[in-house]
Amino acid sequence: MGLVHLGIKEFSEWPTIPQLYVDKEFVGGCDILVAMHQSGELAKMLEEKKVLVPAEEGEVESKGGNAPSS
């Protein structure tokens, strides 16, 4: 394992990677992010921090990434 991986784990005091930071604050690892997404907390936090722009009325959310639909 590389020094960056070890340094991140030490910095956050969290044992796993990937890790999400928003506004220089540690949010959590993958397990925490999945739970936050399922409860709606992740989208709410990202909107509050102005990281995620809410969809405009009538706009359909994509679940398959950024590829255009046909």
Domain spans, the chain: 3-48
> What band does 70 get if pLDDT is binned at 50, 70 and 90?
very low
* Architecture field, domain 3-48: 3-Layer(aba) Sandwich (3.40)
Is residue 20's pLDDT more than 70? yes
Cα-based angle 28, 14, 34 (whole degrees, multiple of 5):
30
Report the alpha-carbon distance of residue 3 to residue 12 in Å, rounded.
14
AA identity, residue 35: A
| 56 or 19, greater pLDDT | 19
| 22 or 65, greater pLDDT | 22
The reported pLDDT for the residue numbered 51 is 86
Cα first-last separation, the chain? 42
Report the alpha-carbon distance of residue 55 to residue 36 in Å, rounded.
19
Over residues 26-49, the pLDDT tens digits come to 999 999 999 999 999 999 999 899
For tokens 């509050």, what's the residue? 48
